[in-house]
Structure 1
Amino acid sequence: MIQEIGLFQQPAFAPFHLISLNYGVIKWGFGVARRERLCFIDNSRVFWKTQEERKRIVMADKTLNLMLPGNPRYQPKELIPFFGYDNLMRGLAEVEIANLKALGKIGVIGKGDIDLLTPELISRLMAITTTQVDEVERQITKHDVRAWVRLAQEILPPELARWTHVPLTSYDPLDTGRILVYYRAYLTVLKPAIFEVMGLLMKLVEEQAQTVQIGRTHGQHALPITVGFWLATILSRIVYNAYELEHSAEKLVGKISGAVGAYNAQVGLGLTTRSEEENALTYEETVLELLGLKAAPISTQILPPEPLEHFLHACFMMSAAFGQLGDDCRHLMRSELNEVAEAFEPGQVGSSTMAQKRNPINFENLKAMWKKNVGEYVKVLLTLHSEHQRDLTDSAVMRDFPTILVNLMTQLNTLRRKNQSGAPFLARLSFNNEALKRNLGMNAHVILAEPIYIALQMAGYPDDAHELVNRKLVPRAQKENLPLAEILRHYAQTESDPYIGEAYGRIPAEVKEMLACPEKYTGDAAKKALEVVSLAQESVCELSGEA
């Protein structure tokens, strides 16, 4: 079924993601952001009403500033409809439109007048760009929201123009509009991308659940694990943060509470009473219901910072998990380790001068985006205080908050990026079994010191078995380059200490066999890896509403 779509009506943003991917028609996705009434969607195909209209819209969109916040190098096109510069006023516009509808709903604006708010007028209000607002602000109002109101009043008929922004304060539409955009960016772009990456990582964990790898702590060989176990530790973090993102997104709230948050105009001028009489809701609830939001329990001129801070913190922590994956893989790609390899594409160059290089650029990008987000998240922490009922020292800082989502989306796109054959980057990750075996074998003769000392202690060795292994057995194994289990056996047979021989004799045969084979000392690594895969599968079902 083909249906006309609007920008902020659920599932409003889905088609714009598709349009922005259509490089052949709209370069850099600039066609995603304007005149949405001219677009139709049928499953995954996008149509314009006529070819002439398509040309006109594309040409018009080329004049828009759709730059995302942050470095111009990192511009995930999926987020342009939300945070592209000239789209930043659309959230505000939707709140202002809902406010007009609410005034009509409670009878402040007469039915004949509110009926003048046609879909065409709404579309024109939604199309007011940030650049237009900037121009009016600089030249006339010196106030961004009043600049938008002025532009809106030029579009609306007089019967509606006079009611624009009544009884709001600036941060009613600004804060609430931003919340709408954050929520929808998460729901329609970030969330599906996270699920896609989780699916790719789940497959890797399953495939490598049994592949033995030397575990490392403090940069040193520690105990054997499996590749799947290592990857599962990261997948588990992603699952945790996916829940945190979902929960924090669902707790995002709006406000229509006026200049100090006390509903002064709404109560003093009778809007609250009229609203409660008409539909048993406060005026704030009436407006926010039209937007699909709940109201903050209390607010000042601005929203309380915690809900958005928690949402951005969840984004930040998700970014950290991907940064961990990048950092681990970057180290494991070191020439001397060589356990992991990035896919190297035809025509790709590793170094401008060292032609032999194969650098871990994608994994380095994952970590770099997290580093960028560390700096961005500090800005969030700096906005947790606002003097009395509001000061303006946070306004400029908060404009940078979407950069956290931009950096996170850049990480997701790195992991999902397809080659010419359509295979995502993460699916093209390869593991060098020869190097894995070589690195495990490098210290295989001593890495089972832990089970040897514990086995001796459990077999009744009366002294400190750790001291025995640490001070006597390990140095000898290293000097003679012999397996620690063999050194233990020889020590038990030849040394005068009767306790060691007795304890060694009581160690079960199957344990002795394990002590001679590091590959068998992986504990529950494979089992835990597969448990995390099951947990991840359950989380995707639950968070997508399929549970």
Structure 2
Amino acid sequence: MISRSVFDNISPLDHRYSLRKEEFESYGQYLSEKAKVKYQAAVEVALVKALAKGDVCSQAVADEIEKAAGELNVEEVYNEEKKTRHNIRALVNCIQKRVSEEAKPYVHFTTTSFDIVDTANAVRYKEATEGLILAILKDLLKILMEIALREKDTVQVGRTHGQHAVPITFGFAVAEYVSRLGNRIQAIKLAGNNLRGKIAGAVGAYNASHLFFDDPEKFEDDVLKELNLEAATHSTQIVEPEYITDFVHSLVSCFSVLASFSDDMRHLQRSEIGEVGEYFAKDQVGSSTMPHKRNPINYENVKSMWKEFMPRMITQYQDQLSEHQRDLTNSASSRFIPEIIVGLLSSANRLIRVCSKLVVDHKNIEKNFDMNKEMIVAEPLYILLASYGHPDAHEAVRRLTLEAQENNSTLRELIKDKDELKPYWDRLTEKQIELLTKPEKYTGIAAEKTEKVVEYWSKVLNVDLD
């Protein structure tokens, strides 16, 4: 058994971003090299079970091979591969060494390597989706839901193009990410459940299995049922690559949502904004030279991780191309898909930790809102003037805003002095005037929409809010 310090590893995923023991172990259950070999052995077992059901071999042979496959270890298979220069042949040899002469012929019977490789990957990514990926993302979603509901009435200035727009609430801003993440969770679940396998032989035409089965597609189904998989509608030596492409796309697009959220939270921590803050430990250091700094390192880390893994989607698109019935141009690149999953989950777990302690500075939110609260009533003012028949209300209010900025006045003060506008002002109702004098009330249905979004996704994804 190879034993070395985690700090001798090359990938930062191992020596830096997966140091938490419980996270590393949960990732490894599906995504480690050990897990990959385990799942490949499980496909070999499913194969021989189906052979026994079809009376090609005895049940005793199937039981013997299953026992042998369960005794394998990854180091043994890798040592064998040094001799064979072929990973699946090495796996097969290691199983055959443990079984009787009667059982040996039925290990890997009628199959090609990528019957095993593609099917094993489909099984482990499907199971990782249900047992790992969705659970972590739902934990993060729940925290965002709780923040959204807690801050649904916290008035915040909306921002478009980096400029103050019209009022929203902070809960409404977070509800955007509840919805986007909910959609991505749904997409990951769909794509993960739709991963397919194959037991169709060297070129996908069932050449070998047809020697023994009148209906080799039924035999393929029998094998895949043992693994809770369906067959691809067509295969060559490999499964149609679009299934795994859709799966990886769902992961990467979800990663983009996490990066977008992190970018928003990072900007809201700017010194001149200061509306949210990360929890800062007692001994934590923000800068090696500026002791006063408290950097938004967690949100920056998520964006940085996204920058690393998002471009790998291009590689996945390139892996859709395979010459004729198959070439080897995806054999190395496809091995890195687990890293994309770990990158996503590492960032999701980071956000779970930081968002569970998110600090909202209500005083700064109010201060920032007050900066331009007299100007943000320009929208309702122009719309109300138009509703009372003003022929060019937008231009009238635009000129009014310029004058207000120049004279440091309010729009409602100026409008009363404008002969052409005063008649429209006099027609406003008390409720409309209150809206213009108290712009914090101009939030539309932000609070109600926040509640609806949270309620919808909690029901769709079965997220229990205490």
Q: Same fold (TM over 0.5)?
A: yes
Q: For 1:68 and 1:486, how far apart are their aligned partners in 2? A: 66
Are the equivalent residues in 1 in contact too, given 2:280–2:294 (CA < 8 A)? yes
1:118 deviates by: 5.5
Are the equivalent residues in 1 in contact too, given 2:374–2:411 (CA < 8 A)? yes
Q: Which amino acid aligns with 2:317?
A: L
> What pairs up with 1:132-147 in 2 under 5 angstroms?
132-138=76-82, 140-147=83-90
1:394 deviates by: 1.2
Secondary structure of the residue that 1:222 maps to in structure 2? Answer: strand
1:326 equivalenced with 2:249 (yes/no): no
Q: Among 243, 253, 262, which residue is 2:186 paired with?
A: 243
352-361 or 101-110, which moves further after superposition?
101-110
Q: Which amino acid aligns with 1:332?
A: L
**Structure 1: runs of 5+ lacking an equivalent:** 1-59, 276-280, 418-424
Q: For 1:310 and 1:64, how far apart are their aligned partners in 2? A: 36
Q: For 1:398 and 1:70, how far apart are their aligned partners in 2? A: 19
1:208 is matched with which residue? 151
Q: Among 91, 94, 98, which residue is 2:39 paired with?
A: 91
Q: For 1:469 and 1:296, how far apart are their aligned partners in 2? A: 61
1:486 deviates by: 1.9
Are the equivalent residues in 2 in contact too, given 1:459–1:504 (CA < 8 A)? no
1:388 deviates by: 1.0
Q: For 2:17 and 2:99, how far apart are their aligned partners in 1? A: 37
Identity within the alignment, %? 36
Are the equivalent residues in 2 in contact too, given 1:69–1:402 (CA < 8 A)? no
Q: Which amino acid aligns with 1:123?
A: G
Are the equivalent residues in 1 in contact too, given 2:69–2:95 (CA < 8 A)? no
1:426 equivalenced with 2:370 (yes/no): no
2:272 is matched with which residue? 336
Are the equivalent residues in 1 in contact too, given 2:45–2:62 (CA < 8 A)? no
1:489 deviates by: 2.3
1:379 is matched with which residue? 315
1:299 equivalenced with 2:250 (yes/no): no
146-155 or 428-437, which moves further after superposition?
146-155
1:428 deviates by: 0.9
* Residues 173 and 118 of structure 1: CA distance in aligned 2, closer, same or farther (over 3 Å): closer
1:106 is matched with which residue? 54
> What pairs up with 1:448-527 in 2 under 5 angstroms?
448-462=377-391, 464-470=392-398, 472-491=399-418, 495=419, 497=420, 500-527=421-448
Q: Which amino acid aligns with 1:480?
A: N
Q: Which amino acid aligns with 1:147?
A: A
Are the equivalent residues in 1 in contact too, given 2:65–2:107 (CA < 8 A)? no
> What pairs up with 1:146-185 in 2 under 5 angstroms?
146-185=89-128
RMSD across aligned C-alpha pairs, in angstroms?
A: 2.1
Are the equivalent residues in 1 in contact too, given 2:259–2:303 (CA < 8 A)? yes
Q: For 2:48 and 2:141, how far apart are their aligned partners in 1? A: 42
1:64 deviates by: 11
Secondary structure of the residue that 2:164 maps to in structure 1? Answer: strand
Are the equivalent residues in 2 in contact too, given 1:338–1:435 (CA < 8 A)? yes
Using the size of structure 2 for normalisation, the TM-score is 0.93
Q: For 1:67 and 1:157, how far apart are their aligned partners in 2? A: 39
Q: How many residues align?
A: 457
Q: Which amino acid aligns with 2:213?
A: L
Q: Which amino acid aligns with 2:438?
A: C
Secondary structure of the residue that 1:428 maps to in structure 2? Answer: coil
Secondary structure of the residue that 2:135 maps to in structure 1? Answer: helix
**Structure 2: runs of 5+ lacking an equivalent:** none
1:134 deviates by: 3.6
1:123 is matched with which residue? 70
Are the equivalent residues in 2 in contact too, given 1:445–1:477 (CA < 8 A)? no
1:143 deviates by: 1.6
Secondary structure of the residue that 2:165 maps to in structure 1? Answer: strand
Q: For 2:33 and 2:84, how far apart are their aligned partners in 1? A: 20
* Residues 230 and 399 of structure 1: CA distance in aligned 2, closer, same or farther (over 3 Å): same
1:50 is matched with which residue? none
Using the size of structure 1 for normalisation, the TM-score is 0.80
Are the equivalent residues in 1 in contact too, given 2:65–2:95 (CA < 8 A)? no
